A and B are shown apart, each in its own frame.
Chain A
Amino acid sequence: MTSTAHSTAGAAVPALEVDLTYGGVYAGTSFEFSPAMADHFNAAAARANGVLKGEFRAFSAGEAFSIACPTRPVARTQFIAAYNRLRAVIDGEIEIHLGDHPHLFSAGLDDPQTLRGTPTYIPKSTMPADFFGRPHSLELYQDDVRIFGPAERFFHTATSGAVFNQIEDGHGRIVLEVRGDLDVLGRRGEVVFFTDPAFGEPTAITQLNDDGSSTALDWHMLGRDHVGDVMLFNEWVAVGVAPRGERLVLEVELPNRAAGLAAALYSGHTRDTAFRPDATVI
């Protein structure tokens, strides 16, 4: 809940409170955005009504890393004003104004007029050459007030951590394959998904193991991401994930045959083939 307020330029801007349920601000996850993916978000913003100033920044293709800030829900207008005052400070030296970069706002589940956080996607090309592939100290400030950190976060390369390799189309489902270093993912047991509302909400999640066995998983809805009045995706997390080999395969059963956005992420790198605007439930 908002506990304090700053008065800036005549507008009341609430102080954001970081939601620590999933560990607070997570940062350093690596992404590869295809031109089609950037077009997908940019086209959604172009056709949306009621997009507020500071709500959307155009996406572009290329590699990016995220700084994701889950917060207690705040009214949409106030959240956007507050978000545009956030600064990430890395290693006490590098300052990033989150509002300057592409971002996606997640609406609260109980009240869609509130927002509960946002991942911000910062081009990797803006960072020093040797920045990725190691941990850094992260702090988050709203104006001059620190609201999170310092905390250590690992900033991934395209090959470090779990590599979200692909999301396959399937009959009544999509199928995620993850490779790479699955240790951190296994310790937390979580995989975050973005799935197009056209698919409906998932009805079952199954982990497939290379030995032919399978495990039913639980999941929790986190939010519904919008730009203006256009809903972009359901954001949810599969829990109880327990990798048992060199790869992790999750089947996500979805009720509606459709084509649209499907993405999966956690500590590591998401390839453009696992962040698809054209995933299809056949």
Chain B
Amino acid sequence: MPRTALEALAREARTEQPLVARGVTDAGSMYDTIWATFRDDVAPWATLDYAQDVIAGRLLASIRATAGPERPSVAIVSSPAIFDQAGVLEPFEAPFADRFPPGWADAAGRWTPLYVQPIVAIYNVHRTRPPRGWLALGDGLEPGRLVFDDPVRMLTTGPALAELSSTFGEAGWEALIRSLADRRPNLVADNERAVLEVSTGARWVGLSNWNVARRVRPGTPVRHTFLSPTPCIPGFGLLVRDAPNAGLARLFLAWLGSDRAQQAYARTGRIPARLNVDASPSLTEILPAGVEPLFGTADWLTDPVRWTQRFRDLLPADRDGAREGKLR
């Protein structure tokens, strides 16, 4: 029973603290909602040292450079394979693994899905009409008016575009990426920057995950629209090897698959990765009629390097100094 497994992990971790964690989830959501629920549910003694870092390469470098009590034991990332290939991961127990969609949970226990992000098109209502589909994303745009997070980073746009390969076929997919490249897209470091660029009017159309796209001020000219199919990209939890308080980290990661954890993620505005958990928002609740979700159709999760190289080849760009949008 998963609950029994959690209780066993909790007994082993009872003397451990703090949990040092880093990742893509914003610090407010982590501290105020997810960690608060974790303490209330299974670990009232535990303390947290968490900071947001959305840049996988930077987080990996930080993990490699840090030993001792400062070393993060939990990482929350979009693309876990690069951490696995770097040899910094430790398998962990995932008592709720069979409740996630096939392809997201790892049979070897190297990562666990946490939440899922539908990828939407964003547009500036002063400047253009909503894009009508993936193949029309750049229609009518002058070069430089399109923006999305650099697919090479495999944050959200990279995995989303990779998923679309199953929809358009190999030739159609390359034609899609080349049509985006023709628009000389502004490649930025994160979804917040894409929304910011469209909000100012400097760019007219972009891509973002749904959670960021709707976190805008009242009256903003940014709107979002779901394209069909809508790629849905999970965020994942990882256990870092040779990190302190590994028992507490194992308990936290195991707990993140539970009903209460998934509902806590929903309270932060994210969609739980367990699609049938009783929570709002849910994927079925937010997807418009006729828009199909798309996930688990491409191997970007297990082989991100191949996709990264394809994006480098098809979307040539000066990749130095890609701008971030988050307020740190």
Contacts and interface: CB of A to CB of B under 8 A. Distances in A.
A276 interface: yes
Interface centre among A177, A208, A247, A278 (most CB of B within 10 A): A177
Interface in B190-211: 196-197, 199-202
Interface stretch (A98-106, A129-137, A158-166): A158-166
A280 interface: yes
B202 A276 contact: yes
Nearest to B218: A210
Given A158-B328, A177-B217, A272-B323, A167 B200 contact: yes
B296 to A, nearest CB: 36
Interface string B196-239: 11011110000000000000011111000000000000000000
A166 B199 contact: yes
A210 B219 CA distance: 9
A249 B221 CA distance: 13
Given A247-B217, A249-B217, A169 B200 contact: yes
Interface string A213-250: 00000000000000000000000000000000001010
B86 interface: no
Interface string A158-184: 110001011111110001010110000
Contacts of A118: none
B126 interface: yes
Nearest to B328: A159
A278 B328 contact: no
Interface centre among A158, A180, A273, A278 (most CB of B within 10 A): A273
Contacts of A210: 218
B1 interface: no
A58 interface: no
B61 interface: no
A40 B106 CA distance: 51
Contacts of A171: 126
B196 A282 contact: no
A165 B219 contact: no
B167 to A, nearest CB: 33
A212 B217 CA distance: 12
A276 B219 contact: no
B186 to A, nearest CB: 11
A207 to B, nearest CB: 13
Contact of A273 (B127, B197, B328): B197
A282 B202 CA distance: 12
Nearest to A209: B218
A208 B126 contact: no
Contact of A282 (B126, B199, B218): B126
* Closest 6 pairs between A and B when the two form their complex, measured CB to CB: A169-B201, A166-B200, A273-B200, A168-B200, A159-B328, A273-B196
Contacts of A175: 219
Contacts of A280: 201
A166 B221 contact: no
Given A166-B200, A168-B199, 6 more contacts: A166-B199, A171-B126, A175-B219, A180-B327, A212-B218, A276-B202
Nearest to A179: B327
Nearest to A269: B327
Given A273-B197, A273-B200, A273-B202, A168 B221 contact: yes
25 contacts: A165-B327, A166-B199, A166-B200, A168-B199, A168-B200, A168-B201, A169-B127, A169-B200, A170-B126, A171-B126, A177-B217, A179-B327, A208-B219, A212-B218, A247-B217, A273-B196, A273-B197, A273-B200, A273-B202, A276-B200, A276-B202, A278-B202, A279-B200, A282-B126, A282-B201
A165 B200 CA distance: 10
B198 to A, nearest CB: 10
Nearest to A159: B328
A208 B196 CA distance: 19
Contacts of A180: 327
